[in-house]
Structure 1
Amino acid sequence: MGLDTRGDISVVELVVYIPLGLVAAYLIIRPGSLRKTGWFYLMLLSIVRIVGSILHIVTETSANPSVGLFIATAVLESAGLSPLMLSTLSFLGIVVQESPMEKTALVNYGFIGLHLTNMVALGLATLGGIKLGNAQNQDDVNSANTFKRIGVILFLVVFVLIALVHVYFWTQKSKIMKYRRMLLAGISCALPFLLTRVLYTVFSAASPTGIPGSATPPPTNAFSQFNYTTGSWAIYFVMSVLTEIVVVCIYLFCGMKLPLSQDYAIGKNISGFDSDVELNKDAHQPLM
């Protein structure tokens, strides 16, 4: 069996995410800081997309694909949004390094809460995907969709809060070190694409789903074109695949090009900082 359009998209993802994953891995092992979690999440996303693409290709080219392949492919598709959100949170944490905001309750407890909410969203979306793959009747499908939709709503809540935190940091930009302000600008560039990616997930979760393996087609509604399995491949490619790749490329570009360690070399000589304070570079561990 040959590949359909969705399979061709999987080939594109495979080709693109292999080098992106290698760049993320390089940034992890690159000498510099202990704050490597952002790059780890991007590498994790690359692995998820590579494995998911391979499974999708195997599913389409196999004469008798197992139900497990379908379930694994669907779960990995929904799981990719979580590391993308976590990487954004990690980079926001880097932005406020050594600023007066770094030790505030808003940043410390707020970021912990966002991380936990993101993980709960991932767990619910994954559980929904597994239950959907094993659904035997419409009641099972409805139950699976309930878990999935709650998880997706939580992803949307996390994004909204990330966007608000990002705006708050801009209001405090005079207290942020020079190159970290540039990283914040990179996050600003990525957020519209991340929003599009999140909206696709929301619309996809709102689309009707039929019983797996049933000859009866699923019902239709206004969101049917956003269904990951039966919807428009063009919408999926633009709103999900392409936007995700753009976000990853923006973050990797910032990681490769921004000399964040120079913030420590030049000191805190910016508005809101004491220019006479000498930073201990070894103690504070810059990103790069």
Structure 2
Amino acid sequence: MALTEQNDISIAEIAIYTPALFVAIWLCIRHGFGRSSGWLYLIIFSLARIIGAAMQLATISDPKSLRLRIGAATLQNIGLSPLMMVQLALIGRAAENIQKSTTCFVTEQRIRFIHLIVLVGLVLGAIGGSQSGQDLADTGKYTVSTLSQAGTGLMIAAYILLALSTALVAVQMPYMEAGSKRLVLAVGLSLPFILVRLAYSAESLYGNNPAFNQVSGDINIQLGMSVIMEMIVVAIVESIGMTLPKITKSPAGQSDQSEADYEMIPK
């Protein structure tokens, strides 16, 4: 049986996200699973893409399996949430660095609030995807769940707050150490691509264009607005993450950096 374009994309995702998974694991080991939770979200995202692609490829031998098709589509839909959480973790770490020298408007509590919005959106998207899958099994027609729409609405709100937080942190870059500036750079470069990915989700859930249907839509649109956008974001974050110096612990248990690692900017 000849491979379809969707099969080719799934193979490419496995080929790309498998090494990305190992890089994310390395970043967690280097920077710490607890402190640098943003890298942990990269592990979750990479696993979601690998598993989703594997489920899609499994339909080659079982093309009538609705569970495989819906499972792959659901993982594709909720994959945006871990990417957003990565950005929130990075910008939160940059804001924390600013607070060593001056007051930062972007506080840990505000970052946690945005994180909660993303988490709720993730839960609603997962439940909504399950409902859509059940409808497809019962009626043979894929219908968008209102819960999925609500989840995407929360993701849009979270994106706006993330972009605003990034702008506020960027204004205070003179107070940052060199490594933290790279974190802001990673988020700033990622935001346009996340916006395109978010626009694809919004159109697929709110619009009536069948080309954006997550199960039977135009594969080229999905490739350009979803798959490639996500790959670019992961490449940006991991590339910059690998340039960051390892965080060490001072005797008091606080994070510390040597002068060789970070160059403090004069206040």
Q: Flag whether TM exceeds 0.5 (same fold).
A: yes
Change (3 A) 1:103 1:70: farther
The alignment of Structure 1 onto Structure 2 pairs a total of residues equal to 255
1:11 is the counterpart of 2:8 = no
Give 1:159 deviation, angstroms: 0.8
1:95 corresponds in structure 2 to 94
Relative distance call for 1:86 and 1:270 in structure 2 (3 A) is same
Question: Which residue is 1:278 aligned to?
Answer: none
Q: How does 1:24-173 map to 2 (within 5 A)?
A: 24-30=24-30, 34-65=34-65, 67-100=66-99, 106-135=106-135, 136=138, 144-173=144-173
Q: TM-score, normalization: structure 2? A: 0.87
Would you say the 8 A contact 1:2–1:61 is kept in 2?
no
Contact 2:31–2:247 under 8 Å retained in 1: no
2:210 aligns with 224
Could you give the per-residue CA deviations for residues 74-110 of structure 1, whole angstroms, max 9, x where no partner exists?
2211121111000110111121233228986742221
For residues 31 and 98 of structure 1, the distance between their equivalents in structure 2, rounded to whole angstroms, comes to 15
The structure-2 alpha-carbon separation of the partners of 1:74 and 1:240, relative to structure 1 and needing over 3 Å to count, comes to same
State the one-letter code of the partner of 2:186.
G
- Which letter maps to 1:91? L
1:119-159 deviations in Å (ceiling 9; x for gaps): 11011111111111111359x966x5211111111111111
Q: Indicate the residue corresponding to 1:191 in structure 2.
A: 191
1:247 matches 2:233 = yes
* 2:206 matches 1:206: yes
Determine helix, strand or coil for the equivalent of 2:258. Answer: helix
Quote how far apart the aligned CAs of 1:39 are: 0.9
Query: Contact between 1:41 and 1:84, CA under 8 Å: does it hold in 2?
Result: yes
Q: How many angstroms does 1:70 deviate by?
A: 2.4
Residues 18-72 of structure 1: CA deviation (Å, up to 9, x unaligned): 001011111111266842211110011000000000000102332542x322232
Gaps of 5+ in 1: 208-220, 273-288
CA RMSD of aligned residues (A): 2.5
Q: TM-score of the superposition, structure 1-length normalised? A: 0.81
Per the alignment, residue 236 of structure 1 pairs with: 222
Query: Is the CA contact (8 Å cut-off) linking 1:82 and 1:122 kept in structure 2?
Result: yes
Q: Secondary structure at the match of 2:97?
A: coil
* Structure 2 unaligned spans of 5+: 249-255
TM-aligned CA deviation for residue 264 of structure 1: 2.3
Structure 1 pair 58–88 and aligned structure 2 pair: CA distance change class (3 A): same
In structure 2, relative to structure 1, the CA distance for the partners of 1:44 and 1:78 (3 Å cut) is same
Task: Report how far residue 232 of structure 1 moved.
Answer: 1.6
Is 1:181 matched up with 2:174? no
